[in-house]
A and B are shown apart, each in its own frame.
Chain A
Amino acid sequence: AQKITQTQPGMFVQEKEAVTLDCTYDTSDPSYGLFWYKQPSSGEMIFLIYQGSYDQQNATEGRYSLNFQKARKSANLVISASQLGDSAMYFCAIGGGFKTIFGAGTRLFVKA
């Protein structure tokens, strides 16, 4: 069985600063993918970034980077130069086999 844990219900960050959202996971699958999604207040789910379990390098997509530490089973999301539009719920997810399992989410508030 797969499990995702996000321990930060809410986070605050000052505009233009960097923020790290924590995510740990558990799985018995040898091959899996780790994902981050953003859900603004409007409700849609937006795919941000992906990290494969065999990828040697941390994934980056623009201002988003994934700090992947396989031995510690962590996949933290780093958002650099935060913008007001980054205020949203952020979900970490693990995919393997036939489905993707999501964590409980972290609500990020960006302060002007």
Chain B
Amino acid sequence: GEEVAQTPKHLVRGEGQKAKLYCAPIKGHSYVFWYQQVLKNEFKFLISFQNENVFDETGMPKERFSAKCLPNSPCSLEIQATKLEDSAVYFCASSQSRAASNYGYTFGSGTRLTVV
């Protein structure tokens, strides 16, 4: 499709529970990026993929966060043992190229995670 599809739109988890977010990139886009936006502030880079391979994971708090992009499946971002500070909107974006290109990213509409 021509849009980046993120599900669910909203997710509520109790502190300590697991959260799993999904992202279907635009068909033909090889690159997938995850960002965390807290309170409409700046976007924190989490991880990027080229197809199913991790490209850059320097932003991931690895002790609780993990992500995958498997062939023929939506990409996923999983948070084990959520904390209150994980409450944010998680955006997925896809692109035809890595980072420095005139295509920009196409963003999904985001998943709002609320940890209570």
Which residues does A use to contact B, with CB under 8 Å? Answer: 29, 31-33, 35, 37, 39, 43-47, 50, 52-53, 89, 91, 95-105
Say whether, besides A33-B99, A98-B56, A100-B45, A39 and B104 are in contact (CB < 8 Å).
no
Query: B100 to A52, Cβ gap below 8 A?
Result: yes
By a CB distance below 8 angstroms, the chain A residues around B100 are 29, 31-33, 52-53, 95-97
How far apart sit A46 and B35, CA to CA, in the bound complex (Å)?
15
B interface list, Cβ under 8 A from A: 33, 35, 40-43, 45, 48, 55-56, 58-59, 89, 91, 93, 98-107, 109-110
Say whether, besides A39-B40, A102-B42, A97 and B101 are in contact (CB < 8 Å): no
Please report the C-alpha to C-alpha distance between residue A95 and residue B103 in the assembled complex, in whole angstroms. 11
Contact of A50 with B99 in the complex, beta carbons under 8 Å: no
Hey, which chain A residues are within 8 Å of B48, CB to CB? 98-99
In the complex, residue of chain A having the shortest beta-carbon distance to the beta carbon of B109: A44
Which residues on the A side are within 8 Å of B102 (C-beta)? 33, 50, 52
Residues of chain A with a CB closer than 8 A to B45's CB: 99-102
